[in-house]
Structure 1
Amino acid sequence: IAVYIVTTLGVVLFGVLEGVALGIAVAVGVALHRLTRTRITHRETEDAHHIRVRGQLTFLAVPRLTRALHQVPRGSRAVVELDGSFMDHAAYEALQDWQTTHTVQGGEAEMTGRAGARIAEPTSPSHSCCRPWTPWRNHHCGEPAAALLPGGPPAPVRVHELADGLGAFQRDTAPHVRGELARLAREGQRPSQLFLTCSDSRLVTSMITSSGPGDLFTVRNVGNLVPAPGTESADDSVAAAIEYAVDVLKVRSITVCGHSGCGAMQALLNAPPAEAEPATPLGRWLRHGLPSLDRMAAEGSSWATLKGRPPADAAEQLCLANVVQQLEHLRAHEAVARRLAEGTLTLQGMYFHVGEAQAYLLAPSQNLFDRVVASPAPGGPHEVPGEVPGEEVADAVR
């Protein structure tokens, strides 16, 4: 109200521009005053720990909020009373992360408003506790907390999970992408890259490459393997995808992407020496990874490295060696060799560390996987395309 009064009086007494300027100044002053008056207190009663927040809850108050929340013992009941009219994203994230952790550890966490009324998160028909702006996040949130703990009971089977996800896509995403997909349907696909990676569910190719419909021609298999052509056990499925991408779609680059915690690489390390025909399809498929195992053994443990730190263990070392080996197998494909000779195709190795959400690109001359750092936001300082500020991007394999 004070802002409107000051603005009106300023316009009447001094003019439009002066009145608006006075109103803006008062609005800024009021906002700063409210931010500095945020109070966060912790009080323990017989039945619960009470965290009360009075005033505007913004990123400036997150450190104090976090300290107060950490005073709540593990496994106890906590009530967070939000006595204010505004909460920014940083504060919401801090509260949400603490509430999730506290609940998983066996405690209770309840959010209330000024009058003690319980606050519930916005819900969606597909996943009642997932945030609307990140519907893919934490899709196990509807399961009992015990099911999220190591060694906990198995989560119940959700029969309609696929249908729920499709319904959420039709409701929330389809309206935004329908125009672009209609264009692609008319014009056909023209991807610039063939992206060959593992089937691991934690590896979301569109997310880590910031790509959309029509950008990547993707091949996924267990262990991101490229069977060498001409061998008795060569795989026509992968070879057909490579031929189609290179000769028909005319992609300009091929990326082989490995990742941390790869079960296929761990299986190769643990497998006994191959003396007989494997009894299962998985065992027969993993034979395509044996050259990677041989390469790591022949070259030594320090042959392929991550810039900034050595590989954590033999499994990670094998993941890196496997990327390099599959690039060698790619070069042996006739279509790839021809385009490489013409200079119209580039091969690239990549490693993604799942737990760190960190991507690495291969610099082939040193067999070094170089960390990719964040590029400036759009509208920031100009950067040469393909370069990463502060780091030398790994060269492509030609």
Structure 2
Amino acid sequence: MGTAYTPGLKVSRNTHIVKERKLSLKGEVLVKVGDEVEPGTIVARAELPGDLHSVKMVQRLGGSYEAREIPAILLVKEGDRIEKDQVLARTKGLFGRWFRTEVKSPVVGTVEYFMKTTGHLGIRTVPHPVEVNAYIKGRVSQVFPEDGCVVEADGAFIQGIFGVGGERRGKIKVVVESQKDVLTKDNLPSDLTGLILVGGSRIEAEVLHAAADGGAKGVVAGGIINEDLSAYLGYEIGVAITGEEQIPITVIVTEGFGTMAMAKRTFELLKSLEGKEASINGATQIRAGAQRPEIFVYGEGEEAAEEDEESAHQLAIGTRIRIIRVPYFGSLARVSALPHELQRVESGSLVRMLEAELDDGEKALVPRANVEIIAE
């Protein structure tokens, strides 16, 4: 029997997770080590500089003043806070009161500069606040000055294979009877506000629109038709990096594309968590530095017995697997052979391969690094 080791998606009633929460630019960290935080607690904040608007004073005054003459009629200076339509400059006019021309500010902001050579006045608009929240309930274990912090917690943790949409929080609601049931619009409760809807084998296209319109936070199921997801998003989505989509809900599939019954273990865990508040994130990165979509519920379950590491991660003939690279991305299969010899792949590298028998009977030769074990 050939042996290899590969991680699978994590589905645990009780595990320890560590989350780095960092700003994209230097700012202020608002928590300290030991602080207890809620998902919505702002842990770090920064300000992104506003846009710079250049007011061409010479042109705005119709060429009646040269750049060097404008300082004499300016009513503002560098550092002044400016309101929209505030007068920046006013000509003296005839006899000091007739036929005066005014230049008004097009934006709210702060005067950043005046260039005497060109007559241009620069106004920087109001900074955009950038905030990072804790995302999960837990305790701050480390602080990165001016950058962010680390939040740690124990609880139920479920990973999916693919998702779209970013971090959200909501209450888990299982709306089907079985992990094999398709999630249709008829399954949806009348009030969707704040819910994370859990289905079975597939999410129907109309459910995505209904969930978003009804105020749901997320939808979770075993599978989804790729065309349905693309139609909802309005464009064809790749499988490399997701999570930045501008959509009102987060969508997570636990098994793959198509109609795929959710793993029983996953479905039963989600059922046991019904009514609990969960943090979810659809962000997925398939390539280097892999990131999987996830569901986390704080402090649930008793300490589970540790699985034997070798048996949990061992590839053998008959092992149930999921392929995580194109062209078979998301396909479920069983290992049918584990050849010992290295084989050259398209990139030119020599790698260990396995033969997989897909659920539709097709056999495929794939690198062992391109699969993950499914717990049965």
Using structure 2 for the length normalisation, give the TM-score: 0.22
Greater percentage in strand: 2
Higher relative contact order (CA 8 A, sep 6+): 2
Greater percentage in helix: 1
Using structure 1 for the length normalisation, give the TM-score: 0.21
